[in-house]
Amino acid sequence: ALFKINTFHFHLTDDQGWRVEIKKYPRLTQIGSVRPKTVIGRNTAEYDNIPHGGFYTQDDLREIVAYAAERHITVVPEIDMPGHMVAAIAAYPELGDGKPAEVMMRWGVSDRVLNTKPETVQFCRDVLTEIMDIFPSEFIHIGGDECPKTQWEKDPAEQQRIKERGLKDEHELQSWFIQQMEDHLHQNGRRLIGWD
């Protein structure tokens, strides 16, 4: 109250762990919420060899939202996409390049990102729908930054989708993806926010 801080930006997903229950996709928390160990320090060669996991249930999150609302605090959830999704890809490899993945144990930016198949776009819409059901905030944060284009450049299917969608390149493909999420949020009376 002293600093008039009235917004809580709640970063719920990343490459190193998926931290929110999504009922339609249970493997996100069964698999994507657990990494086998964590790097010690800033990406050294040392690991703690302690499995790290955990997530918030939807009831937990509703309780947090209610607690915040009583104090005039808005909770803005963040679900990173299309980059920073290795934890989700570990749970559902078909969302990425189709190859097995493991929740990341190091920090940084991964070349493994979501593909832009219609099924993957629908997965993201489904996730955002459940998020909107939990969080009443006007804004929903989707990250959107640090999405290397390496996987899309090498994937003939993504190259075909670029052509079919009338896009110039992989950067326009990412813009197309973001636009799909923005349209979904707008249709539900919400606004997209992301990293520049």
Is 84 a residue of the active site?
yes
Active-site residue flag, 146: yes
Please classify residue 46 by burial: count the beta carbons closer than 10 Å to its beta carbon, then call 0-12 exposed, 13-18 middle and 19+ buried.
Answer: exposed
Of the listed 126, 130, 146, 155, which one is catalytic?
146
Active-site hit among 15, 21, 84, 184: 84
Strands 191-193 and 17-18: unpaired
Q: Do β-strands 74-81 and 191-193 pair in parallel, antiparallel, or remain unpaired?
A: unpaired
Burial class of residue 28 in the structure, from the number of CB atoms within 10 Å of its CB (0-12 exposed, 13-18 middle, 19+ buried): buried
The single residue of 14, 15, 21, 80 carrying the catalytic annotation is 14
> Can you tell me whether residue 131 is helix, strand or coil?
helix
Tell me the sheet residues that pair with 140: 192
What is the DSSP code string of 22-86? -TT-THHHHTTT-BS--BSTTT-S-B----B---B-HHHHHHHHHHHHHTT-EEEEEEEESSS-H
Active site residues: 14, 84, 146
